[in-house]
Structure 1
Amino acid sequence: MPAPEKNRTTYHHGALRAELLDASVRLVENEGVGAVSLRRVAREAGVSPGAPYHHFVNRAALLSAISAQGFRELSDDLAAVARDTDGPDQVVALVRCYLDFARRRPGHFQVMWRPELSEPDKHPDVRESGDAALARLTDLVDDLAVPEPRGLALALWAVGHGLASLRLDGQLDHTARKWGTTERDLVERCLRVVSRLAG
C-alpha cells in the first residue's frame, strides 16, 4: 500500500531531500534500481509528484546523490579503520570495512558502481566522492610501506568488491552450501589468504 500523502510543508527543506533519498534507497533494496523513478519515490515518501523536482532535476540526479552519499560514507568508514588498526591487521580490516559497508548499505552499493545510472560526467560530486574514497584506501595502504602499494590497494579493492557482490547476489551463500560450509567461513578463509599475501 502506498505511503499516505503528506503535506510537503511539514518537511524542512533539507529533511525532504533526505527523505526522498531514503525512500529511493529502500526501493533499490526491496525492488531493484529499475523501480526508482521520481514519481514512485514521491509516492513512497508520501509527497506530491512534483516535490522531488525541487531537489533533483531527473532520475540520474537522484541516483547520483545516492552514489555520492555512499562514497562519502565508505570514505568515513575507511578513515575509522586507520584510527582503529595498524600494521598487518589493517589489510584485513580494510576488506572487512568494505564488506561491512556493502552489507549495511546494499542499496547504495548497487548504485555506486553503475556510472550509466548516476552519470558522473554530468554530476561531478559522484566522481569527486568516489575518487576521495579510493584515495583514502590508497593512502592507508601507502602507510603500510609495502613493496607494491598500488598493487595491494587494487587487490584489496577487488577482493572486497568481489566478495560483497557475490554476497549480495546470493552466490556466496549458494557456494557455501554447496561446499558444506557457511558464508562466514568462506569469507574468513579468503581473508586469511589476503593476510598471508599482504604479509
Structure 2
Amino acid sequence: MPQTRASYHHGGLRDALLAACVALIEAEGIAAVSLRRVARDAGVSPGAPYHHFPDRSALFAAIAVQGHQLLLERLRAAREAAPTAVRGLGAILEAYVAFAREHPGHLHLMLRSELSTSSQVPEAAHAGEAAIQLLTETVQDCQREGSAPAGDPEPLVAAVWALAIGIVTLWLDGPLEGRCVQLGTTPEALTARITALLESLLAGSAA
C-alpha cells in the first residue's frame, strides 16, 4: 500500500519519488516517465513532485547523481578488497557490471547525459568524475607495481571504461544473455573470464 503524502517526513517524499521513478524506468522505460505518473506511483498528489523537482530532467539528474554515488561506493569497496592493483582493476570492472545489473534504472540515466543534465542539479554534470578518478588511480597503481605498462595511464583508463560500458550495454540492451546461453555460461561468469584475461594480458605486456 503506497504511503500518502502526509506520511513522508524529513526527505522521505524526495526519496520516495526517486524510488518510484527508478522502478518505473525499470518496468516500462524512460519514455513512460512523467512527474504526474511518478507522483501516482509514489502515492502522492500530482503537485507533490514539484516541491523537489521543477521538471522531469531535474528528477532524472537527481537519479543519475544518486546512481553515481552508489556506484562509487561499490567501486571503492572492490578496489580496497583486492590484494593487488591489477586485481583491483579487474574487480572494479566486475563491480561496475554487477552494479549495472542490480540498478538498471540508474544506469540508463547515468549513460544518458542529454536526459539527466539540469541547471537545477548542477552536481549532475560532474557526478561521474570520482569513479573515473578512482579508475585512473588504480591504473597508476598497476604501473607502480609493474602490472601495467608505464607511461600515460589514459589509454588504459579509457579501454577499461569502454570495456565495462560495452559489457553492460550488451547485457541490458543487447544479446549478451542469449550468447551466453549458446556458450553454456552466464553473463557473470563471462565477465569474470574477461577480467581474468585483462589481468593476464596486462601482466604479460608489463613483463
Q: Determine if contact 1:94/1:156 at 8 Å carries over to the other structure.
A: no
SS in 1 for 2:45: coil
Runs of 5+ unmatched residues, structure 1: none
Q: Determine if contact 1:81/1:97 at 8 Å carries over to the other structure.
A: yes
The answer on 1:188 being equivalent to 2:186 is no
The answer on 1:88 being equivalent to 2:58 is no
- The equivalent residue for 2:71 is 74
CA deviation map 1:98-137 (0-9, x unaligned):
1111011111001101012112566321122211221122
- The equivalent residue for 2:108 is 110
CA deviation map 1:65-91 (0-9, x unaligned):
000111111111121123211232112
Q: Determine if contact 1:91/1:198 at 8 Å carries over to the other structure.
A: no
The answer on 1:173 being equivalent to 2:177 is yes
Mean Cα displacement is larger for which, 145-154 or 155-164?
145-154
Letter of the 1:15 counterpart:
G
Q: Once superposed, which parts of structure 1, at least 4 consecutive aligned residues long, lie more than 6 Å away? A: none
How far off is 1:181 after superposition?
4.1
Runs of 5+ unmatched residues, structure 2: none
Letter of the 1:89 counterpart:
R
Looking at structure 1, the residues matched to 172 and 106 of structure 2 have their Cα atoms a distance apart, in angstroms, of 12
* Residue number among 23, 33, 52 corresponding to 1:55 in the alignment: 52
How far off is 1:188 after superposition?
3.0
Within-5 A mapping of 1:10-159: 10-85=7-82, 86-119=84-117, 123-145=121-143, 146=148, 147=150, 148-159=152-163
SS in 2 for 1:116: coil
TM-align CA RMSD: 1.8
- Alpha-carbon distance change, 8 to 181 in structure 1, aligned in 2, over 3 angstroms: closer
Structure 1 length-normalised TM? 0.90
The answer on 1:164 being equivalent to 2:162 is no
Letter of the 2:131 counterpart:
A
Looking at structure 1, the residues matched to 27 and 103 of structure 2 have their Cα atoms a distance apart, in angstroms, of 12
Looking at structure 1, the residues matched to 189 and 137 of structure 2 have their Cα atoms a distance apart, in angstroms, of 29
SS in 1 for 2:85: coil
- Alpha-carbon distance change, 130 to 87 in structure 1, aligned in 2, over 3 angstroms: closer
Count the aligned residue pairs: 196
How far off is 1:28 after superposition?
0.7
Looking at structure 1, the residues matched to 13 and 121 of structure 2 have their Cα atoms a distance apart, in angstroms, of 20
Percent identity reads 43
How far off is 1:180 after superposition?
4.7
Looking at structure 1, the residues matched to 4 and 102 of structure 2 have their Cα atoms a distance apart, in angstroms, of 31
Structure 2 length-normalised TM? 0.87
Mean Cα displacement is larger for which, 29-38 or 125-134?
125-134
How far off is 1:170 after superposition?
4.3
- Alpha-carbon distance change, 47 to 198 in structure 1, aligned in 2, over 3 angstroms: same
